[in-house]
Amino acid sequence: MTNFSPMPALAAAALALALASGPVFAQPLDIKPTAQPAAPRAAQRAFPLPPIRPAGLGLPRTEAAAQPASTASAPPPAPEPVVTANNEPRATPAAKPSRPSAPLSKAEAVERLNTYFNGFSTLQGDFIQFAADGRRFEGKLYIQRPGKMRFEYRPPVTMEVIADGTSVAIRDRKLATQDLYSIGQTPLKFLLKEQMNLEKDSIVTGVSTKGDILSLKLEDRSTLGGTSKITLNFDLAANALRQWVVIDPQGYETSVSVYNLDTQRRPDQKNFVINYERVL
């Protein structure tokens, strides 16, 4: 059966992301607020992203602010001194400080990301998602622009998110349900548009650079339920998208990190088929 229901699922998924959270979710896209987030599942493999989640991630801002800050980790032990044959300490050269990338202006950051997104029409790879309640999910994503996308979660999650260019379907294979939404209501339009112009299609609220990571903050006021806040984390050295974080209109946060990205292979078109007969 097909259900037409409100979109909290999608936004939180950040597009299934819920995607981000669902595959993601174990009801991937329908996240209920909790008084206190559960601890994320242990990673099955070691990945450079996402970083350790701070306390309170996923809670509305008012509740997250009340969460106690985590204690700092103990400093590493001092290295043993290097000595010469005469048992005298040998002077060690001072470590050369790393030279972070020069900060980009707002216009430069927007142009850099526009050029990146407009430089490919297909993309596939792996993702790791932290849902708003702290759960961790993994899966595969497939994108063919304009408008086609699929988030496929690894078992035991039975959810999948599919965009066919017109609609977005959130399906649960185990429950045999399917919810449909307009593609324009999702907060991840930056992945689906044929020609991207971040400053035209959204509101750029901030730009920062830390090392080689460029962070661009956006607001999308066209998502169902209100304004979604999106942060794109882009690796300037690798010239690749690394992560996006979506805060939905209710204040819940979902983060998705991507890796093993391939912009050369063309995804199978069967990945983007929605069965509209379920509606009938």
Give the pLDDT confidence of 198-212 residue by residue, as tens digits.
888 889 999 999 999
- pLDDT of amino acid 227: 85
| pLDDT value, residue 274 | 92
Q: What is the pLDDT of residue 117?
A: 93
Residue 126 lies inside a defined structural domain of this protein: yes
Give pLDDT < 70 ranges for the chain. 1-102, 278-280
Asked if residue 208 is part of any domain, the answer here is yes
Is 207 inside any structural domain? yes
Tell me if 84 is assigned to some domain: no
Q: Return d(Cα 229, Cα 246) in angstroms, integer.
A: 6
Tally the domains of the chain.
Answer: 1
pLDDT reported for residue 181: 87
CATH number at residue 11: 2.50.20.10
Task: Give the pLDDT score at 87.
Answer: 52
Residue 93 lies in a domain: no
pLDDT at 14: 41
Q: Is residue 75 part of a domain?
A: no
Number of alpha helices (DSSP H) and beta strands (DSSP E) in the chain: 5, 13
CA neighbours closer than 13 Å in the CB half-sphere of residue 257:
14
Instruction: Report pLDDT digits (tens) over 90-146.
Output: 544 444 444 445 678 999 999 999 999 999 999 999 999 998 888 999 999 999 999
In a domain, residue 88? The reply is: no
Does residue 91 belong to any structural domain of this protein?
no
Give the domain extent around 224.
2-33+102-278
Q: Which residues contact 113 (CB under 8 A, 6 or more apart)?
A: 196, 198, 214, 216, 232, 234
